[in-house]
Structure 1
Amino acid sequence: MTNNKQQTTINIPAPLLSSEENSFAYYTFTSRLPIIIEQVIAANNFSPAILEKLNKLKAGLLVELVHPIDDQGPDIIDWKDYLQPFLGKPLIELPFYFAEVYLYRRLLAITEYFASPTAEAIDPFESQKRHSLAKAITSIRQVSIKLDNFPTLSAERNEQWQLALRHLLYLNLWGNRMDLSFAPKEVGKLEQQVLDPKLKQSQIILDDTGLIVDKISSFHHNRIDFIV
């Protein structure tokens, strides 16, 4: 029996590599990640041995080779499988997202995060998280109020409801910019841009918010989660 159904071929582009100059991936490895490592060093009281490893990693990001992760982490078996195709290759030649995640996992290994019982584990990013949270707490409260008020608008999907939905979609988009590589003072500037989407409207290359709002408006008894 012959299957006459047409098969659709999707041409998926090659993954973005960190070695592509003038790309965000290259900028991340040459600027953002070294800053993150510096912040980890400055915010923690690590031993000289750990500091030496962190400084070596920061200085050699563009020439660092991929090697197995060897610590007591519960994910160590999974990482062994993940890394198998890339062992011995330059880190910068890996697909960008995987390379970045691998680097963060390396940071945990170097700082011996899994070497102690869970209750004693030191989060190398704790100080940065606390400072950023303290700086953004006012905006977090404002966003929480918007989220709390949204269900009361859902009964009538009127213009006010659509405007509220648009704002949540923009919060979802621009909230993704909040990153550990931003200093707390920079978070303060970004949060105002996030709370007032009009400030960043001109920077959206393709805006299908209207289509999304129309689609969601047609839903009934569906659950939609917003990550902001």
Structure 2
Amino acid sequence: MPDAPVIVSSDPESFPHSVLAERHPALIRKVLDAFPYGPDRRRALDALLTSVTEGVLEPLGPDAADVAQWDAWGLRAYAGRSWFEVPFLWAESYFYRRLLEAVGYFAQGPWRGVDPFRPFKLAELDIPEADAELAALDQLAARPAQDRATALLHGSLWGNRADLGFQLSAAGGPSAERQLVADESELFWALFSGGTVCLVADNAGRELIPDLLLIDHLLLHGRADRVVLHLKPYPYYVSDATTADLLDAVHRLTGAGGAAAESGRRLRVALTDGSLAVRTHSFSCAPLPYADMPDDLAHEFAQADVTLLKGDLNYRRLVGDRDWPPTTPFARATAYFPGPVAALRTLKSDVVVGLARRTESSLVAAEGQSWRTSGTHALIQARP
């Protein structure tokens, strides 16, 4: 059993406290500004704002279709308590479920199924940086195969800093390797030798596109015979990828021209012939670690030749959102996982494992604890 304490948000000086006290209220205001919601929805969002800043966790309405599921996930135990007293992962997840309730995402009516984060996701795909990242693929195509593999791996790793990944092999270009706190790239690649790969996606927009390019590379070069892409069943954590976001990303690739369009066309074919399959599962939006995943999801991961989890939230759920000593072995924290597993993650929260003691010491000496949450460091970890 884990022996590290679960991360909570009660310390006013902590990063988790700042997320609940500052980031979530700011997001509510941003959503209010982005949509012309009517008075009922605006009142519901205002009530959620009051709840997260001054109040306590309130239960879902009795007519919510997933109320029994959330009760099983801990809502009965946590309702009536302060947002800051319950596990940070749980509080964050429940906030997004309540936000969707407030905007009418699940209710009968005109706002049913309208993603409150969609404007922010689409905006990322249309900025000049996105054009530059996709154009860089043309130059990358002329590089040796190993250079292309490394660049695409780092593009997926860094997400919306993917331009850094694509330029990794260019002479005199910046090196992402200097910012890796753990780099098990050799072990990572050894896991991909054909068969079925499950890729659990993280964010949409400019972060999903590099993931799709990595999937295209795996299929094109025989590192995977089939990829199962796990997406969120509904909008989650602002930018987490849904099926609609996947379609937007593939459309952006196919419309870009050059090597990007070639990848986009191959991905469309892969989707139609089944070599790229799409999955959604309710547990993808659960407020729990993967150690508590249901049997059907565990069985799917067990059947895969390797499961790759992308991003910060999936990492927290993979190793457990706990105050682990950073030198805790990655293999220990993921020993429960039912098959070979790898993680690509930019550090944006406190939890981390698998670091060498010397690495941790040098990071703390140079940056205090800010290296854990600044998004300027990343890791590549794998467990056969």
Supply the distance in 2 between the matched residues of 1:13 and 1:65 (Cα, whole angstroms).
26
**Structure 1 residue 67 displacement after superposition:** 1.8
* 1:211 paired to 2:204: no
Is the contact between residue 133 and residue 166 of structure 2 (CA under 8 Å) also seen in structure 1?
Answer: no
TM-score, normalisation: structure 2: 0.43
Report the equivalent of 1:202: 178
Report the equivalent of 1:66: 57
* 1:192 paired to 2:166: no
Supply the distance in 2 between the matched residues of 1:202 and 1:35 (Cα, whole angstroms).
33
**Structure 2 counterpart of 1:53, which letter?**
A
The structure richer in helix per residue is 1
Is the contact between residue 155 and residue 166 of structure 2 (CA under 8 Å) also seen in structure 1?
Answer: yes
Superposition pairs of residues 103-142 of structure 1, within 5 angstroms: 103-116=95-108, 120-135=112-127, 137-138=130-131, 141=134
1:57 equivalent among 42, 48, 60 = 48
Superposition pairs of residues 17-36 of structure 1, within 5 angstroms: 17-36=8-27
Is the contact between residue 113 and residue 122 of structure 1 (CA under 8 Å) also seen in structure 2?
Answer: yes
Superposition pairs of residues 69-108 of structure 1, within 5 angstroms: 69-70=60-61, 73-82=64-73, 83-108=75-100
The count of corresponding residues between Structure 1 and Structure 2 is 194
Unaligned runs of at least 5 residues, structure 2: 169-173, 202-210, 212-384
**Structure 1 residue 45 displacement after superposition:** 1.1
Q: Give RMSD over aligned pairs.
A: 3.5
* SS, match of residue 205 in structure 1: strand
Supply the distance in 2 between the matched residues of 1:224 and 1:142 (Cα, whole angstroms).
27
Change (3 A) 1:224 1:62: same
The percent of aligned pairs where both chains have the same amino acid is: 24
Unaligned runs of at least 5 residues, structure 1: 1-9, 150-158, 179-189
Is the contact between residue 152 and residue 166 of structure 2 (CA under 8 Å) also seen in structure 1?
Answer: no
* SS, match of residue 70 in structure 1: coil
Is the contact between residue 113 and residue 121 of structure 1 (CA under 8 Å) also seen in structure 2?
Answer: yes
Please identify, of 74-83 and 32-41, the stretch whose mean Cα deviation from structure 2 is larger: 74-83
**Structure 2 counterpart of 1:169, which letter?**
L
Is the contact between residue 71 and residue 114 of structure 1 (CA under 8 Å) also seen in structure 2?
Answer: no
Change (3 A) 1:193 1:91: farther
Is the contact between residue 17 and residue 25 of structure 1 (CA under 8 Å) also seen in structure 2?
Answer: yes
Supply the distance in 1 between the matched residues of 2:63 and 2:77 (Cα, whole angstroms).
22
Supply the distance in 1 between the matched residues of 2:109 and 2:136 (Cα, whole angstroms).
36
The structure richer in strand per residue is 2
Is the contact between residue 10 and residue 17 of structure 2 (CA under 8 Å) also seen in structure 1?
Answer: yes
2:33 equivalent among 20, 29, 42 = 42
Change (3 A) 1:163 1:194: closer
Is the contact between residue 50 and residue 111 of structure 1 (CA under 8 Å) also seen in structure 2?
Answer: yes
